[in-house]
Structure 1
Amino acid sequence: MNKNKIDILLNKYLKGTISREEAEDLQELSNLCKNNELKEAFRKQWDKYQLSPEMNFPEIRDISNKIHKSIHATRKKYIINIWTRIAVSILLIVTTGLSVFLMIDDKQMQTLGEREIITQVDKGQRANITLPDGTTVQLNSESTLSYRQDFGIQNREVKFNGEGFFQVTKNPDKKFIVNTQYMDVEVLGTSFNFFAYESKDIVEVTLVEGKVFLYTNTSPRQTTILEPNNKAIYNKNTGRLNVEQTNTTFETAWRATELAFRTEPLTVVLAKIERKYGVIINIENEQLFSEFYTGVFEKEDLTEVMKVLHAHFQFTYKIKGDTISIK
């Protein structure tokens, strides 16, 4: 045993300046060293503290006497002298204290790990984030992504609401899991678009490359494996999960600041315009609910987009602040 090291560590512990790593070293050294070596180390510490007026000798004496009685009851022929009793008393204090020290430190680490890191995107905004494992996520307007601070240590799980494009770093030992209210997605390394707004009736997962396994969180549970250029669509109202082919252009157009629609209901078109430009659109003409639209808006501002839709559907509209009324 390194006598100097245990002396230094004991002194630090009693002063309250010991670090976690040093506390672990002291605990290990205490378990490995011989009784006479411990006795000598504790004697040195006792010599330092016995002259201190802050030393509560009666308390140490009581602890020592209890230990002595316990030892004497099981080994009657064993005689323990005062220095050994003092050493055992200090050892009890040190080892108990170290256990508490390490336990509190572990508890603090666990608490820190359980804290969530949350990214929220405001209406009309977007955000790009990089997770600790290198995975990148591009979040669309009004989306939320959260994960625990210890992400990647034991698992790779995130909670998600909204729309996002995930480019997942490959790790065969740890699956990447996206949790939503109605559907979860498991991947090892891939790229996919996830549309999962809690306020919408449809959840969509569009796979660009790789492979994903997804399953619904409602009864009856449904599962499927997606291949590239496939899209899984879950209808919250009917509880049905369907898979169809797609070229992914329209599902991921929002990433390039484009609005792309392929025979989309006008209500869906207007909902995407709301998210992109951060506005509220009220439709007062119910006949428009049954209309569909196909087209792409690349860099047009809101006024130009509304002019195009006005010409196509022949409706009238009024823009006031961040609210658009369609008649």
Structure 2
Amino acid sequence: MKLQKREKAYLLLADGVIFEGTAIGKKGTRGGEICFNTGMTGYQEIYSDPSYYGQIIVNTNSHIGNYGTIETEQESDGAKISGIVVNDYSYLFSRKTAEGSLQEYLEKNGVVGIADIDTRMLVRHIRNKGAMNAIISSELSGQELENELEKVPSMDGLELSSLVSTKEPYYEGEESSQIRAAVLDLGIKKNILRSLSSRGVYCKVFPAKTSFEEMQKWGADGYFISNGPGDPAAMPYAVETVTKILEQNIPLFGICLGHQIMAIACGISTYKMHHGHRGLNHPIKNVESGLSEITSQNHGFAINEKDVENSELVEATHIHLNDKTIAGIKVKGKKAFCVQYHPESSPGPHDSRYLFDQFIDLIKESKK
């Protein structure tokens, strides 16, 4: 591959801190909330995860791009992030099965990036100051850059799921399957659908703003509420749908944003975290079994711990061992549960896969 000419780029944070580095990816200017992911691998899965829509990702692993990209590692139809920040960027790749370079991938998907940044210092700054808006540009500097940054909307109160959700319903799995699950797509990852279909579930995936009445017409045995981007408190349409599913007491499983939406439907409030959880090494304790799990996480909002403690409707099933945030709940007297992490991912590697089996067992039990 022909080596690229190194051009200057700038990263400006909302608190005024500015970094100078090298432009990578598509040349241009993009803004969004800046956050960091501690995963050692899986950059393509991160970039194509709809939950990251509108965010600038700082990869804490120092070398990014060295194993290229491949279609099978896509979690959606393309990159969903606004931009990336890396330390040592590789235009060359050495994985034999790779289909292209990360540079080609970023250019194709319109992702603006910056390299040669002291990401260790940047991450420490975000950890101290909290997640904030930022902007990357290989075109602008000075006052022009500041002016563009002011136009970037705050993630707090921002509804984004309808922007990344499917526009039309579609199916996943074998139509002859005995189990049917209606999936509300708030920004779903492909591997979640694979995890369901590989267990014999036939899924119909619905757009984010589909009503319960419309989903119900398909005659599903259970309902799944997906992950996705944005502030859960800005999604009354999804809360209404989940509330009606709970009223029917049909088996229901939610992941990440789906977890937050289910909590709101049960009277639990949510809040924006200081800098969120994003990485492949988050320790979770299942308080029912006493076992721990190493999990993949990606969220900037959490459900209120005090609300859960005082609730008569839900109880905590999983706790994050680093900061004691609620990582899972179940609804008392209902066939409904949810978690604030990604059991379809493989950091454990299979510590959390039992949750899909638990959902299917609920459906089978309900069908008897």
TM range (shorter): under 0.3
TM normalised by structure 2 equals 0.21
- Structure with bigger helix share is 1
TM normalised by structure 1 equals 0.23
RCO higher in structure (CA 8 A, sep ≥6): 2
